[in-house]
Amino acid sequence: MAQVPLSIKIILGFFAFVLTMAMPAKAAAQDGWEICNETSYIIEASTGRYEGQGVIVEGWTRLRPGACERVIEGSLRPGIHYLFGRSSTAHRGGRKIWGGASKLCIDPTGSFAVENIPDCSVMGLEEREFRPVLIEDAKRWRTSFTETEKRNLEQASAAGVQRLLDNAGVYSGRIDGYLGRKTRAAIGDFLTSKGLSADTTDADLMDILEQTAIERARNVGLTFCNRTDKRIWSAMARRRGEGWESRGWWLLEAGGCARVIDEPLLQAGLFAYAEMETGDGEIRTLTRGSDQFCVSKAKFAITGREACEEAAYRSGMFVATPAPVNRRLVFEFFERDFGDPVDAS
């Protein structure tokens, strides 16, 4: 069944959208391990499977919202497999992670297929925590990436288009998984602005939106970049109204970046904080911090900067950033910025 073009969907609305997205369910009948994306994010997935006495780890399989891909073809070996996912850099707020507690080696920079080893760094790889997946059927198995909001594949695809439209700066409505009038109008405006045909497919639309969002991220807001060879968890602080707020955490892979403020920067007074993982259960914190703000172990958005411990938070010494230029700023963390390791507990 051919994919329904966008022009038909815009005319017929949600009914045509359901027809378009009926294809992944049919593909699920084929043998193998299939992974599906029921989120509103483009996800890059890595998998692990046992071969002989070791685990073979492979990546990356790119999944558009609402899409499914078979990562193992043919009959399966029942038992534990492994799955890890990360969101595309097109999405605002840093990379989101879907994982677990099983540590395996990956190459964060490009496609790879390796046999897992105890020390990932020996091969120039990095350690990530994968989700173990128990496969019980020797013919076929499906595993899905999900969000807090439960969606089927059709709703995930619509929500994915909405999120990408928002990230590309052409839509500011709800990301609810329904192609209403506002979403359809935004799609039409975007296609027109790019000189694209109304017959552009869903897949091409998402790909073009992704690249537009990535390009836009380079030209607006505050971006943190990790110039070390270790993973960093970052946070920012700024004045909000008459008070202050601190927010975190954004994960920065080695050599990676994350956009932490998505709108143009109108004034100075921004602060940065980061903690570097050492791989030994210890962390390294910034040595040149000058301003105290509150941080938490989990993801946080904290109003105020006083009496952190009394509010069950802890204090972190943030670094004042340079003033933005042309309403944007890229702030980089280097190895020299971090002190000696301390116990993370």
The per-residue DSSP string of 310-325 comes to GGT-EEEEEEEPPPPB
Highest mean pLDDT out of 21-25, 89-93, 128-132: 128-132
> 199, 217, 235: which is the final residue of a domain?
217
Other CB atoms within 10 Å distance of the CB of residue 107: 18
CA 13, 146, 87: angle at the middle one, nearest 5?
Answer: 90
Which helix (H) or strand (E) segment holds residue 227: the answer is none
Query: What tens digit of pLDDT does each residue of 70-115 get?
Result: 999 998 999 999 999 999 988 877 788 999 999 999 998 889 999 9
Instruction: Give the pLDDT mean for 43-48.
Output: 98
What per-residue confidence (pLDDT) applies to 344? 63
Asked if residue 191 and residue 49 are part of one domain, the reply reads: yes
Query: What tens digit of pLDDT does each residue of 159-206 get?
Result: 999 999 999 988 888 999 998 999 999 999 999 999 999 899 999 999
Query: What tens digit of pLDDT does each residue of 289-342 get?
Result: 889 999 998 889 999 999 899 989 999 999 999 988 888 899 999 999 999 887
Q: How many domains does the chain have?
A: 2
What per-residue confidence (pLDDT) applies to 260? 86
Q: Where are the beta strands (DSSP E) in 41-125?
A: 43-51, 54-63, 68-73, 79-87, 97-98, 102-106, 112-115
Asked if residue 144 and residue 17 are part of one domain, the reply reads: yes
Helix, strand, coil percentages, rounded to 5, for the chain: 20, 40, 40
Task: Tell me: cis bond preceding 33? Omega within 30 of 0 counts.
Answer: no
Asked if residue 196 and residue 254 are part of one domain, the reply reads: no
Q: Which residue has the higher pLDDT, 7 or 100?
A: 100
pLDDT band at 14 (very low <50, low <70, confident <90, very high): very low
Q: Which residue has the higher pLDDT, 147 or 125?
A: 147
pTM of the model: 0.69
Asked if residue 280 and residue 213 are part of one domain, the reply reads: no
> What does the alpha-carbon distance between residue 36 and residue 27 come to, in Å, rounded to a whole number?
11
> 168, 186, 217: which is the final residue of a domain?
217
